[in-house]
Structure 1
Amino acid sequence: MTVDRILPTDEAHDLLDLATELADRELAPKAADHEERAEFPREVLRTLGRSGLLGLPYAEEYGGAAQPYEVYLQVLEILASRWLAVAEAISVHTLSCFPLAEYGTAQQRKLLPDLIGGELLGAYCLSEPQGGSDAAHLTTRAVPEGEEYIVSGTKAWITHAHVADFYNIFCRTGGAGARGISCLLADRNMPGIEPQLAERTMGLHASPVAQVVFDGTRVPAERLIGGEGKGFGIAMSALDSGRLGIAACAVGLAQAALDYAVGYARERQQFGRAIVDFQGLGFLLADAATQISAARALMLAAARLRDAGRPYSIEAAKAKLFATDVAMRVTTDAVQVLGGAGYVADHPVERYMREAKVLQIVEGTNQIQRLVISRALAKG
């Protein structure tokens, strides 16, 4: 189904047209094969990077496209509707560039053109084996020694663990709690960075996650972002933006599932007519279309607040919560529309359903989003 979009500029229209063209040519034909073989699409991401799609929200002086988040998220949605793993990779990469772009010194930001340009890929190392949601009590430690920090600890569930060229490491440089956390930017070639075996996940097989062990990794002190003790604030600020990226991925995935289910229901004949004409299925599809439109509107409303420089943290939590729950519901219903055919890999809806689940978990579980929203309500 064609989505009727209102965009702020002609350039934005052209950008979405480019994203659609690349998604149809470079993503859609390759998704099923790469997912089956669990092969990370590094060359696809390089192609998107060279086309300018890996640095959309960042300033042109650093190699970005200086696009509003409202536009960036719609590009992400289009890519996710063809191949979620690629859209999620871009969302994580954009998240990984955020600390340096927003909190780095002028000297540090000289690294940004290489990071944003597409030839390099980032990883965001916050979660740990014993603590994902409770980030304030992470245990990875960085000890100053001369002009370096010596980093030791283990990070978990790291997207791009094996393929990243740079890592944001959130680590403890001070005492207990949030105030003792700092952010370091490490290069892949620094000794002591040891990605572990990839996890055996339910979905997103082409985008494996793994633990990353930092075994006495020496990171130059000049790679400290924002100053000691500022890491937790950086992490939370980055996640506000990252949650919008996941919301966009969820909307795109849900739209793909709905489009496929509608196409199937139009063609599938039972009792002498197309099954889309049966009210039980027709109403299910109508509800799905309505929920997707609502999720998209919520996501874009939060993005416009961000673009206007206004507080948007709570709206980002709402968008992530609602959009990912919608994606789970719509992909499950799409499998139901196809019946037995939906349960086999000949059709993509079974993959969509498996992929939707992780979106309710990453960038803060949906239970955490509810906690964030409810606390804001309690404060008034």
Structure 2
Amino acid sequence: MNFLLDKEHQAIFEKAKAYSLECLAPVALELESDPELLKAKMKEIAENGFYGLGIPTEMGGKGYNYLQMSLVYEGLAHGSGIMSFLLQLQNNINMEIATFYEGIDEEILKVVPDLACGNKTTAFALTESASGCDPSATEAYAELDGDVYRIQGTKDWITNAKDADYFNVMVKDGKDSKNMIMLFVPADTKGLRYLENRERMIGNGMFVGGLEFDNCVVPKANLLSADGFKEALKAIDVARVFTPAIAIGVAQHAVDSVSEYLGQRESFGKPILTNQGVQWQIAEMATKIEAARCLLYKTAAVMDSGEPVALTAAMNKLFATDVAMEVTVKCAQLFGAEGFMKDAPIGRAMAVAKMLQIVDGTSEIQKIVVGRGIARQYLPRR
């Protein structure tokens, strides 16, 4: 496996990083509370060619593989981890509609070109308030009634819930069923309504809230998958490739920023960065980021190969997000009082790192996945 990026891959990363530092970083604070600015920037991101990354070229997308997509999200995270997170979420759902489901209705596929260029947006309605990281605990359900599904229940913590044009919705196949199905639900479907936005530590320019399905009726043809649980787990594996990429970008930018600051800031007559104790801290952080980057590249390669990725993806999500949390906290300390200001970028970086430890399965969930995977190799079979 070659861990060295070729010129094409390096160009993909550099384009995303340069755009993010020039166009997102200067307004990162405003993006926290201005939904209209966030929407404008998402449109700008689409115009710069960062939408539709995993959608095949013949369907209007870029046709990128997982490594190429990871490089985009790592680069964009240098200027705004939140915008990189929102984009990868959009792109993931769009890619899944375009490529994951077999035999889906042609009318659904007709929306893919609009998704690929950012004209339409999507959201993934999986999480419920009581289920958290356990999709099998889903309570929302759909009953097949002739040629339609009638959906009942609520979803929570749905990113982009208010602004999405379409939803991928995972529900039980009947109120008392244990089987899960995935349905494609347009946002203007009767019986679907939004619940309140949930205020968070970071990213309040995004609408993250609940959905209520009250006899929400969609055609039987809107069935994306009869095995929704399997598809949900596959989607989570995808997220566990890209969320770490964002974490690495956030951590790397924190180290770059604090190194530049300490190289200019003098204490006791010399730049703080000349202090060996400080250099050792920078060295440890840089080494951990590079190790996380190598694991990211391996995970992307496994995903591209089609081999089972769940164990590697869990390791990737666990390690990269924990590194990002550790690095941003240490960098905040090195910034001193400047890092404690309310509008300090390093404060937002810490909050993003904490968010990334929680979304797509907490660090504790990743440990369960990894631990059980290893245990299966060594425990006696019964």
TM-score, normalised on structure 1?
0.93
Residue in structure 2 matching 1:52, options 40, 49, 52: 49
Q: Secondary structure at the match of 2:84?
A: helix
In structure 2, the residue matched to 1:319 is: 316
Alignment of 1:76-155 (within 5 A): 76-100=73-97, 101-105=99-103, 107=106, 108-155=108-155
Distance 1:351 1:252 in 2: 13
Q: Aligned letter for 1:341?
A: E
In structure 1, the residue matched to 2:224 is: 225
- In structure 2, relative to structure 1, the CA distance for the partners of 1:104 and 1:112 (3 Å cut) is farther
Question: 2:292 touches 2:323 (CA, 8 Å); kept in 1?
Answer: yes
Between 1:267-276 and 1:163-172, the stretch displaced more is 267-276
Q: Which runs of 5+ in 1 are unaligned?
A: none
Distance 1:175 1:195 in 2: 22
- In structure 2, relative to structure 1, the CA distance for the partners of 1:346 and 1:237 (3 Å cut) is closer
Q: Secondary structure at the match of 2:118?
A: coil
Q: Secondary structure at the match of 1:194?
A: strand
Residue in structure 2 matching 1:353, options 350, 353, 359: 350
Distance 1:196 1:255 in 2: 36
Residue in structure 2 matching 1:22, options 9, 19, 22: 19
Q: Deviations over 1:278-329 (max 9, x none)?
A: 2232211111111111111101111011112222221111111100001111
Q: Deviations over 1:18-37 (max 9, x none)?
A: 32342233312221222254
**Alpha-carbon offset, residue 111 of structure 1:** 3.0
In structure 2, the residue matched to 1:291 is: 288
**Alpha-carbon offset, residue 217 of structure 1:** 1.5
Q: Which runs of 5+ in 2 are unaligned?
A: 378-382
- In structure 2, relative to structure 1, the CA distance for the partners of 1:105 and 1:26 (3 Å cut) is farther
Q: Secondary structure at the match of 2:161?
A: coil
**Alpha-carbon offset, residue 8 of structure 1:** 4.8
Alignment of 1:34-53 (within 5 A): 34-37=31-34, 41-53=38-50
Distance 1:295 1:237 in 2: 22
| 2:245 equivalent to 1:241 | no
**Alpha-carbon offset, residue 176 of structure 1:** 5.5
Distance 1:121 1:292 in 2: 32
Q: Secondary structure at the match of 2:243?
A: helix
Question: 1:141 touches 1:152 (CA, 8 Å); kept in 2?
Answer: yes
Between 1:18-27 and 1:82-91, the stretch displaced more is 18-27
Residue in structure 2 matching 1:374, options 351, 371, 374: 371
In structure 2, the residue matched to 1:252 is: 249
Q: Deviations over 1:163-188 (max 9, x none)?
A: 111111100114667x5110001111
Question: 1:197 touches 1:210 (CA, 8 Å); kept in 2?
Answer: yes
Distance 1:40 1:167 in 2: 23
In structure 1, the residue matched to 2:380 is: none
Q: Deviations over 1:76-105 (max 9, x none)?
A: 001111111111111111222244221142
Distance 1:280 1:39 in 2: 44
TM-score, normalised on structure 2?
0.92
In structure 2, the residue matched to 1:268 is: 265
| 2:326 equivalent to 1:329 | yes
**In the comparison of the two structures, how many residue pairs are matched?**
372
| 2:208 equivalent to 1:212 | no
In structure 1, the residue matched to 2:184 is: 185
**Alpha-carbon offset, residue 69 of structure 1:** 0.7
Distance 1:243 1:231 in 2: 18
Report % sequence identity. 32
Q: Secondary structure at the match of 2:26?
A: coil
Q: Secondary structure at the match of 2:158?
A: strand
**Alpha-carbon offset, residue 272 of structure 1:** 1.3
Between 1:308-317 and 1:29-38, the stretch displaced more is 29-38
Question: 2:142 touches 2:171 (CA, 8 Å); kept in 1?
Answer: yes
- In structure 2, relative to structure 1, the CA distance for the partners of 1:319 and 1:26 (3 Å cut) is same
**Alpha-carbon offset, residue 40 of structure 1:** 5.8
- In structure 2, relative to structure 1, the CA distance for the partners of 1:301 and 1:289 (3 Å cut) is same
Distance 2:137 2:230 in 1: 13
Between 1:152-161 and 1:231-240, the stretch displaced more is 152-161
- In structure 2, relative to structure 1, the CA distance for the partners of 1:67 and 1:285 (3 Å cut) is same
| 2:272 equivalent to 1:280 | no
Between 1:213-222 and 1:135-144, the stretch displaced more is 213-222
Distance 1:330 1:14 in 2: 26
Distance 1:363 1:232 in 2: 15
Question: 2:183 touches 2:225 (CA, 8 Å); kept in 1?
Answer: no
Distance 2:295 2:273 in 1: 28
Distance 2:262 2:343 in 1: 16
Q: Deviations over 1:55-88 (max 9, x none)?
A: 1122111111111111110110011111111111
